Amino acid sequence: MNLIRLLLILVLIWIVWSFFKRKNANKIKDKPNVKQIPMVSCKYCGLHIPVNESIRVGNANFCCKEHSQL
């Protein structure tokens, strides 16, 4: 009788533990990224950089001043 009771308690603990583990895993997946900055590639070398750090000349984006002048 004591063995059956112990097994039932262990099964209940495992069920509760797996439920909370699954619930916390869903919280982590649902968090959106706070900042999503679009990336562009340098027309000269192809390096990907954030659009707010790029140098724009006409319709082209460059990673540095030297590449925009070449």
CA distance 18 to 31: 21
pLDDT in tens, 13-31: 999 998 888 877 666 665 6
Q: Report the predicted TM-score, pTM, of the whole model to 2 decimal places.
A: 0.49
Per DSSP, the three-state class of 18 is helix
Q: Answer whether 18's CB lies under 8 Å from 8's CB.
A: no
Q: What is the distance, to the nearest Å, from the Cα of residue 4 to the centroid of all Cα atoms in its chain?
A: 45
pLDDT in tens, 28-44: 665 666 678 888 999 88
Q: Answer whether 48's CB lies under 8 Å from 40's CB.
A: yes
Query: Among all chains, which residue has been given the structure tokens 């679009």?
Result: 38
